[in-house]
Amino acid sequence: MVTKAEAADLPENADLRRADSLAREIFSDIANKWALLIIEALGDRTLRFSELRDEVEGISHKMLTQNLRLLERNGLLERTVHPVVPPKVEYTLTEPGRALRVTIDGLCEWTQRHLHEIEASRHRFDT
Amino acid sequence: MVTKAEAADLPENADLRRADSLAREIFSDIANKWALLIIEALGDRTLRFSELRDEVEGISHKMLTQNLRLLERNGLLERTVHPVVPPKVEYTLTEPGRALRVTIDGLCEWTQRHLHEIEASRHRFDT
DNA sequence: CCGCATCCAAGTAGATACTG
DNA sequence: CAGTATCTACTTGGATGCGG
């Protein structure tokens, strides 16, 4: 991830810049509350749409669909449609998805560890 | 981080639910593109406002200010105002901020590692 | 140089209703 | 049950200008 603009705009840098913009795009896709919570909720399990909606507290039908599509498009999860009535669609993390999950676990752990510290800081700031 | 609603709504769970909603709030603050990019850009360094704006490519004046305040409020970075003219304001990560940075590094690494795989998956999906 | 306020355009998310 | 579409309210973010 390149955060600083490169000085020269030589043709040789074209692929570098392309990779960077792609990285940015991916980053934007996954660095969002719902996507992360869905990945966490899924974990190692295989869940149906409605199960996922129950697991991810507060997510709307629409947001769930939208983010599931996004994650599927990026190859983080697999969508399996069972041709039965009523319809049954299951979601499970792919290998890249599970790898990502490990780093998200770290994020959650960090949050838990610093919960009180952050709360205190907020209180200080707000006065 | 609790992703599933607890069944019973007993008074004993009140503090648990409070901690959970706090975690959610913190999660929302941090799981956003600009906040993460700012933390990454800052790294171990101490940067001025204008330096940060140059480092985080594409961020607007407003977004930078907004996210810096947010991060400061949560105690992830420290803001130092030097009383000179013209004003000089420096930002540096605090201990919690540096700890968070480590996990974000993991996220960036993951992105780099799966760049091509994701690109391929996107292409498959879009057809 | 840094920050705040304002305005406005664009994107986002909820509610609802309808289909296979 | 899962997904799509539409409508609307709200939030977001960029641009700009002013002030310390």
- Spell out the domain ranges in chain B: 32-126
A62 shares contact with chain B (CB less than 8 Å): no
pLDDT at residue A122 greater than cutoff 50: yes
Query: How far from each other are the two terminal CA atoms of chain A, in whole angstroms?
Result: 37
- Which residue in B73, B19, B93 sits closest to A118, CA to CA? B73
Residue B22's closest CA among A37, A79, A63, A119? A119
> How many angstroms away from the CA of A44 is the closest CA of chain B?
14
Q: Give pLDDT, residue A127.
A: 87
Contacts of residue B75, defined as CB under 8 A and 6 or more positions apart, other chains included, come to A114, A117, A118, A120, A121, A122, A125, B94, B96, B97
Residue B24, pLDDT score? 87
In angstroms, how far is CA A123 from the centroid of its own chain?
29
Residue B5 has pLDDT above 60, yes or no: no
Percent of chain A, pLDDT > 70? 88
Q: Which residues, at least 6 apart from B4, have a Cβ–Cβ distance to it below 8 Å? A: A41, A54, A55, A57
* Nearest-by-Cβ selection for B110 from A57, A99, A126: A99
Contact B23 A57 (CB under 8 A): no
φ/ψ of residue A80, rounded to 5? -120, 120
**A21 backbone φψ class: left, alpha, beta (φ>0; ψ -120 to 50):** alpha
Tell if the CB–CB gap between A96 and B114 is shorter than 8 Å: yes
pLDDT tens per residue, range A44-95: 999 999 999 999 999 999 999 999 999 999 999 999 999 999 999 999 999 9
Q: Which SS3 state, helix, strand or coil, does residue B94 take?
A: coil
The CATH architecture annotation of domain A32-126 reads Orthogonal Bundle (1.10)
Beta strand pairing status for A46-48 and A88-93? antiparallel
pLDDT of residue A18 exceeding 90: no
